Homo-oligomer: A and B are copies of this chain.
Amino acid sequence: MKELSYAVRQGAMAFLRREFITLAIFTAVMVLILALLIEPKPWVALAYFFGTLTSALAGFLGMSIATRANARTANAAIVSWARALKLAFSSGAVMGFCVVGLGLLGLTILSIFFEDIHVWLGFAFGATSVALFLRVGGGIFTKSADVGADLVGKIEKGIPEDDPRNAAVIADQVGDNVGDIAGMGSDLYESYVSALAAAMVLGVIAFQTKGMLLPLILGAIGIVASIIGVLVVRPREFEGSFEKQVSKAHATMNRGVYVSNILMIIAAYFAITGYMGNEGLNIFWALIVGLICGFLIGQVTEYFTSEHKPVLGIAKASETGPAINIMEGLFVGMLSTAIPIVLIAATTVAAFYFAGLLGIAIAAVGMLINLGMLLAMDCYGPIADNAAGIAEMAGLGKEVRARTEALDAVGNTTAALGKGFAVSSAALAALAWLATYFEVANIEIASITNVDVIAGLFIGTMMTFLFCALAMKGVSGGAFDVVKEVRRQFKEIKGLMEGEAKPDYMSCVDIATKRALKSMLLPGILVIIIPLIIGFTLGTEAVAGLLVGALLTGLLVAIMMANSGGAWDNAKKYIEAGNLGGKGSEAHKAAVIGDTVGDPFKDTAGPSLNILIKLVGKIAVIFAPLFLLFD
């Protein structure tokens, strides 16, 4: 067990090392560009550097703790259910507090030394660059390994999911850490920092220094509330059926969420109304609007991706074969966008009604303020998943595996909720940056009666699909490479299939890493260059159109992909639980195909769009002063 855990940790570090080398080159180039072009020189460039550093640090710390936690959780499960749950959750909490702590600390330090909005924005931009690498690169890595491992292992060779004879199995587990922990963490770090930075910028414009400090105060309240929430999660020893274990674990963690939310609301109410005087109440309502929006989107996500009508519909459709399964899954994903989009539109209108452009940024802060607690739950999922994998691979006893599987099942729900939350917080953060862009680029009006704005909207829309297409291609290409390598090892390493020899795990990690870095290059460059081209040719208003176009379609497609993917996954699990013929039936085969298509949807292309919609906003805001010179 130690050996496997060590291999996963080694693989993860090998991936991170290579990513960080590429990221370092990318950062050096960006720092140089910012130092030469963007005022106040070189402080924006340094803040950017500081932003990449803290973000990378948060990702690195979280991941190294999580990779250690995997095996320890499996180990703890031998002794006790409560100990395993506690271990997985508190390891997730470490990631959560790394993220919010470093984010808030970084912005606080900057706000002490510089009362210059461009410096704060530079810091947030730095966080985005790391998120691009970890979320997009990590997403391509994890799904190349996962799909590749399944295609050869489960389908060709008929061996179980986490069988140690499969050369890609370690790469798959590395991917879970890289994509779901480091990727999700850096994505949410980015949203958190972005929302706070945008609120500081819009706050300082509306209320001077007071407005700058308010978001930081809210951030501090959120951290304290989250800490208390995490402390409240104290699982007690529990025995019971699988379903009861799942619901008990869920209830235990939910208690923490409720406590931290209630504390936060009370504290925020007194802090805002006390500190901001008459304006305070309106700002407080904007915060609450964001919080409610996040909660409701979570409920919708839960409905569409857990065992309710949509998932059962996909499972039923699987009986007519894979084609109808795919159609039904796409239908569910598309349908599931309607309510979240209306909610985000309503939140925007309501937040603006309460507190203008600042209100939109405050709504984003409201959604993200308890991130410490939420990330603890999000990261719990992959840790429990990996612990279950390790328990399987190490051949632990039946009872232990039942425990880790129950913990894993809870993780699936928290992970789906986490994805819904990542998308909606990205949308609100992106809206906050849109508002910031209007201020920074002095845009009072960007009318859709203006053809340049229309052209910008078209280009922004188009970028979404282009970005998404390239991410999907990265996965199918990567999976293809991994399949070839696993097949090669089965053929060339004697005694592998019989369990007498060991596969070369690292070569699969290496192949998937290379493909991930290669595949993210083009989308990464396009997403930076296209806004610049539009800015320098069609002007600042067209860029505003581009941001809106990317946000609209990006949000739509991200929700659809996350929910289609989640629903396919759970439809498969529903059949595997023995329904509609169970494992091995024709319906199951069809459901496996749907799940495989859904994998890059929910873990690569969908989440990558979160980064896209935030990154274009950053580029636009940072380079707005240059666009204005050309206007």
Q: Which residues of A contact B (CB under 8 A)?
A: 147, 151, 155, 317, 320-324, 326-328, 330-331, 334-335, 337-338, 341-342, 344-346, 348-349, 352-353, 360, 431, 438, 443-449, 451-455, 457-459, 461-462, 464-466, 468-470, 472-473, 475-476, 479-480, 483, 538, 544-545, 548-549, 552-553, 556, 560, 593, 596-597, 600
Contacts and interface: CB of A to CB of B under 8 A. Distances in A.
Nearest to A351: B451
A463 to B, nearest CB: 9
Closest 3 CB pairs of A and B: A334-B469, A323-B596, A345-B458
B326 A457 contact: no
A454 B454 CA distance: 14
A461 B556 contact: yes
Interface core residue of A320, A327, A600 (most chain B CB under 10 Å): A327
A459 B345 CA distance: 7
A262 to B, nearest CB: 30
Contacts of A538: 349
A326 B593 CA distance: 9
Contacts of A451: 348-349, 352-353, 360
Contacts of A447: 444-448
A337 B480 contact: no
A348 B454 contact: yes
Contacts of A345: 454-455, 458-459, 462
B444 A449 contact: yes
A289 to B, nearest CB: 13
Contacts of A317: 476
A544 B457 CA distance: 13
7 contacts: A147-B324, A155-B321, A327-B476, A334-B465, A335-B466, A341-B461, A341-B462
Copies of this chain, complex-wide, total: 2
A427 to B, nearest CB: 9
Nearest to A589: B322
Contacts of A328: 476
A326 B462 contact: no
Contacts of A597: 323, 326-327
Contacts of A457: 548, 552
A320 B548 contact: no
Given A326-B597, A465-B334, A548-B454, A446 B443 contact: no
A473 B560 CA distance: 15
A469 B331 contact: yes
B147 A323 contact: yes
A453 B453 CA distance: 13
A461 B550 CA distance: 11
Contact of A556 (B341, B480, B553): B553
A166 to B, nearest CB: 16
Contact of A327 (B155, B322, B462, B600): B600
A82 to B, nearest CB: 39
B465 A560 contact: yes
B342 A462 contact: yes
Contact of A455 (B321, B326, B349, B438): B349
Contacts of A466: 334-335, 337-338
Contacts of A444: 447, 449
Contact of A445 (B338, B449, B458, B600): B449
Nearest to A316: B480
Contacts of A552: 457-458, 461, 549, 552-553
A594 to B, nearest CB: 8
Contacts of A322: 322, 593
A331 B467 CA distance: 10
Contacts of A360: 451
A433 to B, nearest CB: 13
B448 A320 contact: no
A534 to B, nearest CB: 10
A438 B443 contact: no
Contacts of A344: 458
A472 B342 contact: no
A448 B324 contact: no
A469 to B, nearest CB: 4
Nearest to A452: B349
B446 A346 contact: no
Contacts of A560: 465
Interface core residue of A330, A475, A479 (most chain B CB under 10 Å): A330
A616 to B, nearest CB: 14
A473 B552 CA distance: 24
A394 B465 CA distance: 45
A459 B341 contact: yes
Nearest to A337: B465
A3 to B, nearest CB: 31
A382 to B, nearest CB: 22
Contacts of A454: 345, 348-349, 431, 548
A107 B447 CA distance: 32
Contacts of A556: 461-462, 464-465, 553
